[in-house]
């Protein structure tokens, strides 16, 4: 994402503005003083305040697509609606990984058979995979499918974690 302005120090911009003022009769002295006062106030802000200011400035200019996700505004700027809208933006996790943590040694054959039912692995590959515990058995599974597989594995004596 390109920055709004080139990273030129404020002092250099002020000196350029002063040089421009000498050649322009339309720029009154009070305008320059106002700009210098604003620049001094901006320079005195903390890093967090500068971040909040830049976000607010982009919003006021209508450049909403340049406001970084998670940059946020303080509650004084967003108001009470801004605080309640933040949790609504968080999305529920839809894809899960099924991880085999451990299994009962006496139930090893049952676990291998169960792993074969929901993977396309042969007997040898499933056995090697189960023996590598802890290992991820399947990635990017829907919540319902992941819970069903985890329940079946737990029935045969395995400890499964959904990540």
Statement to judge: residues 26 and 83 lie in one domain? yes
Statement to judge: residues 153 and 84 lie in one domain? no
138 or 69, greater pLDDT = 138
pTM of the model: 0.44
Question: Which range (13-22, 65-74, 109-118, 135-144) has the least confidence?
Answer: 65-74
Which residue range is the domain that position 157 belongs to? 95-162
Checking if the pLDDT of 14 tops 70, the result is: no
Quick one: average pLDDT of 134-158? 88
Q: Establish if 4 belongs to a structural domain.
A: no
Tens-digit pLDDT profile for residues 79-113: 444 444 445 455 677 788 889 998 888 989 999 99
Percent of the chain with pLDDT over 90: 5
Most confident of 56-70, 90-104, 123-137: 123-137
Tens-digit pLDDT profile for residues 29-52: 688 888 888 888 888 888 888 888
Statement to judge: residues 72 and 102 lie in one domain? no
Alpha carbon 114 to its chain centroid, in Å, reads 36
Statement to judge: residues 115 and 52 lie in one domain? no
The number of distinct structural domains making up the chain is: 2
* pLDDT value, residue 12: 58
Statement to judge: residues 55 and 119 lie in one domain? no
Structure-block tokens of residue 59: 């919003």
Statement to judge: residues 75 and 15 lie in one domain? yes
Checking if the pLDDT of 64 tops 70, the result is: no
């Amino acid at each position: 994402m390109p920055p709004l302005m080139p990273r030129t120090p404020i002092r250099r911009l002020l000196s350029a503005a002063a040089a421009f003022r000498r050649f322009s009769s339309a720029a009154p002295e009070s305008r320059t003083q106002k700009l210098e006062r604003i620049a001094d106030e901006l320079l005195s802000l903390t890093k967090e305040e500068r971040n909040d200011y830049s976000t607010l400035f982009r919003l006021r200019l209508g450049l909403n697509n340049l406001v970084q996700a998670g940059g946020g505004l303080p509650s004084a700027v967003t108001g009470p609606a801004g605080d309640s809208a933040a949790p609504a933006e968080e999305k529920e996790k839809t894809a899960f990984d099924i991880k085999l943590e451990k299994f009962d040694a006496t139930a090893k054959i049952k676990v291998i058979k169960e792993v074969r039912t929901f993977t396309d692995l042969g007997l040898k590959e499933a056995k090697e995979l189960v023996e590598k515990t802890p290992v991820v058995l399947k990635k990017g599974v829907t919540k319902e499918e992941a819970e069903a597989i985890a329940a079946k594995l737990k029935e045969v004596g395995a400890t499964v974690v959904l990540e």
